[in-house]
Structure 1
Amino acid sequence: MRIVPIRYTAEVAASKRFYLALGLSTGASSRPGAWVELPAASGMLALHTADVAPGTCELAFKTDELLEDVAARLREAGFSPGPVLDENHGQSLRVRDPDGVWVQIHLLDRELYT
């Protein structure tokens, strides 16, 4: 798995300019401009517009593993993942960590969104 913090912002373009100035690169983005991936030397930052407070961050992971297998492992460990959802970028799964914070796991299909 690869960790991907998701930074919610009021304006993706302005935040993108800021993080590019810090040294991140431009990666894949949505055609309408609602999100962009900014690869770095040892990870990636995802910028998204959302109805949450700007500056809010969420933890996400990208995996090549089937999400049904991840969900089964979480259930075996006593956690309650949500359903595996088909998305416009592949599949996703959400689960709350022990503090009640949502964590996202994504199995991406680049053919769907690039």
Structure 2
Amino acid sequence: MKVVPIRYSSDVAAMTRFYEALGLRVESKSRPGGWVELPAAGGMLAIHRSSGEDVGRCELAFEVGEPLEDVAARLRAAGFEPGPPMDEGFGHSLRVRDPDGVWVQLNLYDRDLYT
């Protein structure tokens, strides 16, 4: 499993330039330009376009390497109720609230969809 913090920004291009200046490099991006992925040694930073109160927010996500249904079953067995798997432009995802009530996103990528 890979840690994937998602940084929401009103200007994806400027934010991308900032993190490239820190030494990260773009690996994948959406065709319309709404998000980019910048891999690092221990995970990846994703930058997503947003507006309003989401700007500046950071969300914790994980890239999983197994069916989301298996992860959901483990979460339920531990007493946590995830939302349903969602079809996404990058593959599939599901969200679940952690014990503090904060959403955590789990992503199963199909890189052929956008790279």
Bin the TM-score by the shorter chain.
over 0.9
1:64 aligns with 2:86: no
What is the identity percentage for the equivalent residue pairs of Structure 1 and Structure 2?
67
8 Å CA contact 2:3–2:42 kept in 1: the answer is no
Gapped runs of 5+ residues in structure 1? none
How does the TM-score come out when normalised to structure 2?
Answer: 0.95
Gapped runs of 5+ residues in structure 2? none
Aligned ranges 1:2-81 → 2 under 5 Å: 2-51=2-51, 52-81=53-82
In the TM superposition, structure 1's runs of 4+ consecutive aligned residues that sit over 4 Å from their partners are none
How does the TM-score come out when normalised to structure 1?
Answer: 0.96
1:97 aligns with 2:98: yes
Shift of 1:66: 0.4
| CA offsets 1:12-69 (integer angstroms, 9 cap, x no match) | 0000000000011111001111000011222210000124431100000001110000
| CA offsets 1:70-101 (integer angstroms, 9 cap, x no match) | 00000000001000111111110100000000
Residue identity in the other structure for 2:96: V
